A and B are shown apart, each in its own frame.
Chain A
Amino acid sequence: MTYGKWLAIFLALTGGTVYGPQVQAYLDPVTGSMLIQGLIGVIAGTAVAIKLYWRRLTAWYARVVRKEPVPEDSSAATVSDTAAPEEE
């Protein structure tokens, strides 16, 4: 007997309610969506990479050349974490 049936029987006996039918979470990726992602992934990924390095460059310039204090909540932090994951 499947897990879903056990759950339904148990709840029927104990007076609980199952929300909706026990449908398995399964997703059919739309045909061609991976091809599209392959195409835009390169371009969009490059854009993210450029932005990321640009932010690093401007942060470095501000810190080293102009000797500005580093802001605590640097927006560069979120993106740079992606490129080079730090130890958690």
Chain B
Amino acid sequence: MFEYDGRILRSLSHRASDDFEFVLQKGFLTRWVANGSFVSATEIELPELSEHLGCETIVEHQRLPFISYPYEWSFGMLKAAALLHLDLQMDALEHDVAFSDASAYNIQFDGSAPLFIDLLSLRPYRNGEYWLGYGQFCEQFLNPLLLRAYLGVPHNAWFRGSLEGIPAGELGRMLPARSRLSWRVLVHVIGPARMQAAALSNQGAVAKAEKRMTSRGLSKLGYLGIMEQLRNWIAKLTPRDVGQSTWGDYSETHTYGTEEMEAKKRFVAEFIERIGAKLVGDFGCNTGAFSELACRAGAERVIGFEYDRVALEKAYQRAVAGNLKITPLYLDAANPSPSQGWRQSERLGFEQRGTFDAILALAFEHHLAIGRNIPLPDVVAWLVCQAPRGVIEFVQKDDTTVKQMLALREDIFDAYSQDVFEQALANHARIEKAQKISREGRMLYWYERE
């Protein structure tokens, strides 16, 4: 896959071209693209390029505005991706097409809707074959979801550190004893974990048994049955959250009065309407109220970023319910996703994935400047780097929220003030408009980078 002349292209070798033709003839791909579950793939004629590369076919894909990875998704997003994967696989299998893998990285989000992006995963089904991607599906979808559903532990940090997902052996050690009473846990987690342990101590025996099993083959009904069983299970999983979230209820518990909130909304709406942004980054999107407002004011797409998992989930549910082009992602701005994988270029870091047309950073900067001890001018510089224009809210030190943040710690923030903020902003951009929006003194700044 490569970018050429501003287009996203994929070259197919001779064998991949044959598979692609086979899949195309089945007809379901057109239906998948039309209902938005599969990336558009148009065969194009670029004789010079294909001759040079010695490839059979070149396919052009739609360009996605922002790439995200499973360790940045909320529970609901990973679940939606898992269900899409199974639905497509089951549909394909009925047309004698199988998937060669089950990687969660083959799914992206278009707004709140999951989208399958890897054309090369599809190939003809061979009678009696096993589901090759089963182990990968469990590690990248099922186990991370079970981690949250059974233990209340979000998958994000573990998945980010272990790019191939969560192995059954490791999850199995943590699951509570009573969960082992479940036949599905036994079969899909404990069983594979034991099998892997057995393979380590007695490789020959497991390999022999596996060879015997493979020679017998798996019926198509069995193949479908395994996927249907997993689908039914995953569809019922919900996060089991232990403890309270800090910001999950923010939209109900924030410190704004009604009129103040209205003033803030008017400011942001006017900004979005006037600039006509295509891609907006909403930093600290919380439950997505302002992402939604931006969409309704004319932003084509909003990528929301949030640190609190409960708020993030609510933002995703809001996007789903309103069918909004909002993709909320997990981000700790003080430690964003790094570039990683093979040669650190398989999965791009947050900063490597491009910038936005505009940003919103509402009630955000103090979490970095006060909450994470990052100098205020650095926070402002980083935010202004993300887009040529945006709205940043400044929360002054005597604000109720900041007072709470400082209540149990020493106030070492002498350089945290409105003057310092304005000076920092003026160093990088022109202040188009500034407005006090709360009685306590919160300010909104609309900046335009020079």
B187 in contact with A31 (CB, 8 Å) = no
B199 touches A32 (CB 8 A): yes
Closest residue of chain B to A16 (Cβ to Cβ) is: B4
Question: If the complex has contacts A25-B101, A25-B120, A30-B135, are A35 and B5 also in contact, measured as CB distance less than 8 A?
Answer: no
A82 touches B224 (CB 8 A): yes
Residue of B at shortest CB range from A30?
A: B135
Contact between B346 and A78, CB atoms less than 8 A apart: no
Which DSSP category, helix, strand, loop or mixed, fits chain B's interface? helix
Instruction: Give Cα A10–Cα B293 distance, bound, in whole angstroms.
Output: 45
Given contacts A20-B345, A23-B342, A41-B226, contact A29 B132 (CB under 8 A): yes
Q: Check if B345 sits within 8 Å of A29, measured CB to CB.
A: no
Judging by beta carbons under 8 Å apart, are A27 and B53 in contact? Answer: no
Identify B226's interface contact among A3, A16, A37, CB under 8 A: A37
The complex places the Cα of A16 from the Cα of B133 at a distance, in Å, of 32
Instruction: Write the nearest CB–CB distance from B209 to chain A, whole angstroms.
Output: 6
Q: Are A42 and B206 in contact (CB under 8 A)?
A: no
Q: Enumerate chain A residues within 8 angstroms of B210, measured Cβ to Cβ.
A: 31-32, 34-35
The count of chain A contact residues (Cβ–Cβ below 8 Å) is 41
Interface of A is mostly: helix
Out of B1, B132, B191, which one reaches A36, CB within 8 Å? B191
Is A40 in contact with B229, judged by CB distance below 8 angstroms? yes
Q: How far is the CA of A88 from the CA of B236 in the complex (A)?
A: 35
Q: Mark A46-57, 1 if CB is under 8 A from B, else 0.
A: 111100000000
Tell yes or no: A17 within 8 A of B by CB. Answer: yes
Contact residues in B for A49 (Cβ distance below 8 Å): 221
Binary B-proximity of A3-34 (CB < 8 A = 1, otherwise 0): 10011001100101111110101010111111
A38 to B226, CA, bound (A): 10
A70 within 8 A of B: no
| Whole-angstrom distance between the Cβ of B187 and the nearest chain A Cβ | 5
Task: List chain B residues, Cβ under 8 A from A31.
Answer: 195-196, 199, 206, 210
Task: Report yes or no: A47 in contact with B54, Cβ–Cβ below 8 A.
Answer: no
Interface size on B, residues (CB 8 A): 59
Q: Report A70 CB to chain B, min CB distance, Å.
A: 20
Min Cβ gap B99→A in Å is 10
- Name B187's contact: one of A20, A32, A39, A81 (CB within 8 Å): A39
* Residue A65 CB within 8 A of the other chain: no
- Choice from A39, A45, A78 contacting B221 with Cβ under 8 Å: A45
Chain B 324-360: CB-based contact to A (< 8 A → 1; otherwise 0):
0000000000000000011101100000000000000
| Known contacts A21-B345, A29-B134, A48 near B228 by CB under 8 Å | yes
Interface: B222 (CB within 8 A): yes
Contacting residue for B3 out of A3, A16, A81, CB 8 A: A16
| A19-B135 in contact (CB<8A) | no
Q: Is the CB of B130 within 8 A of A34?
A: yes
Determine which of A27, A38, A39, A43 lies in contact with B133 in the assembled complex, contact meaning CB atoms within 8 Å. A27
Q: Which residues of A contact B (CB under 8 A)?
A: 3, 6-7, 10-11, 14, 16-21, 23, 25, 27, 29-49, 78, 81-83, 88
Contact sample, A vs B, 10 pairs, CB 8 Å cutoff? A7-B11, A11-B2, A16-B3, A23-B346, A31-B196, A36-B187, A44-B225, A45-B219, A82-B93, A88-B27
